[in-house]
Structure 1
């Protein structure tokens, strides 16, 4: 008889499996909870109920933190949307490319946490007083192949040569680049510059930038 009992020895896995299959076990044996103790981080022993309460409080705190992050992102997006709406309305009132460049510079640096703005075109030469930068098509395709060939907006640090092309000797460290198109062809970019190398990261969402670039691209058709 003893040999038979030994052959059916209960392991920890058996206990774990049983408790998983009977989650109400401790409800039927409440006194047992008072006798079970777990080691706390402080070194003191606490009851299983106290440990469960700690876990629940931790999970509740984590959920509140996640909710607060979601709320922060939502509030930030709402503010961004309203600022973009204001910018678009001001752009619609522009009657020249210089007006567009001036509006972009003023609004983006004042409302969008951008240090510098540069509009670069390959199909519009500049004269004295013009606010955009002219570059030939090959140069733009070399520095911004995604924007010029695929009309794709992107963010990142880019190379020092690219940053210098746009912002000369300034201390711009990261860029957000929006593709400007005309007749389905790349004709330039809107470049937003930040002195913070991590401000425009490669994984930064470009939804709002893309919308802005599309609006400016449509305005180019009327100029």
Structure 2
């Protein structure tokens, strides 16, 4: 398997774990912070990354405080650690590693299939499937009812501009980030409340919102250039 040269999605430090549920690589510190948010995200099963060869180390963890302490790199895998000498433990680690790799590959294939289904009609798909969820979130965020339709329309517009560029992330994470981007600029709602409603960790919402903003800005710049060339 190829070396995983990935950094933490939140702080850009060297990643120690991969969380398939959030489709995110995290360092030890950010992993503990994100999965300490509530008991639901604490149950996410993460895969450790070997500190030596940078491949999946074959150990799955869940809960809070299960990775190495802050400032200490993740453990070595079976191939890189001379300390793993017991045959039973080796068999267990090897079996778990195969399971993790298989699960991750399956998840990646599933994301690619969803990406192909989305292409060619992203805006329509978002409109039909998400409007009800967004209206429900607006209500739970205690937003003014007469503003709900505008919020929904703006969130759908943001998602339509980014769907083809950020398919690696779970759709609910993208939805929560786009929703937060819209209501934050309108001065409404609290991040902790959205975290509870959506089930997406607050730090992941904020990090994804920043990435959404960059994608939207790049696309807007490209469209402006194209319009300029058309007019000249």
TM-score, scaled to structure 1: 0.30
CA radius of gyration, larger in: 1
Instruction: Tell me which protein shows more strand as a share of its residues.
Output: 1
